[in-house]
């Protein structure tokens, strides 16, 4: 069980998604939250991921970029205390940049 934090919306994100197991979760942070935008490109990207993978996006980063209300519906917004809880729930945390 790994929590993958992703801070960029680029080829690193795609590489991370290709390596996920069904017990893993993804947390988008910083500029990575752009991958949670409700767009055709992002829908296609996330449809390639196992449906049971939990998907989170940092509330503060969404708000800072003005996209809080334009997220794909399967992302759960999470705050800092939630991030801490997730990091304790998963065996490892891997940061992708």
| Domains, in order of start, for the chain | 2-96 (3.40.1260.10)
Cα dihedral 15, 16, 21, 24 in deg (nearest 10): -170
Whether residue 32 contacts residue 9, with contact meaning beta carbons closer than 8 Å, is answered with yes
pLDDT tens profile 27-80: 999 999 999 999 999 999 898 887 789 999 999 999 999 999 999 999 999 999
Tokens of 15: 């590489």
The angle formed by the CA atoms of residues 51, 52 and 57, to the nearest 5 degrees, is 85
* pTM for the full predicted model: 0.93
């Amino acid at each position: 069980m790994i929590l993958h934090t992703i801070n960029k919306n680029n080829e690193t994100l795609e590489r991370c998604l290709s390596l996920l197991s069904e017990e893993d979760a993804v947390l988008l942070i910083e500029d990575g939250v752009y991958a949670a935008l409700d767009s055709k490109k992002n829908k296609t990207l996330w449809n390639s991921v196992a449906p049971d993978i939990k998907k989170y996006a940092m509330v503060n980063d969404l708000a800072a970029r003005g996209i809080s209300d334009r997220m794909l519906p399967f992302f759960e917004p999470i705050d800092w205390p939630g991030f801490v809880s997730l990091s304790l729930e998963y065996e490892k945390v891997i940061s992708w940049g």
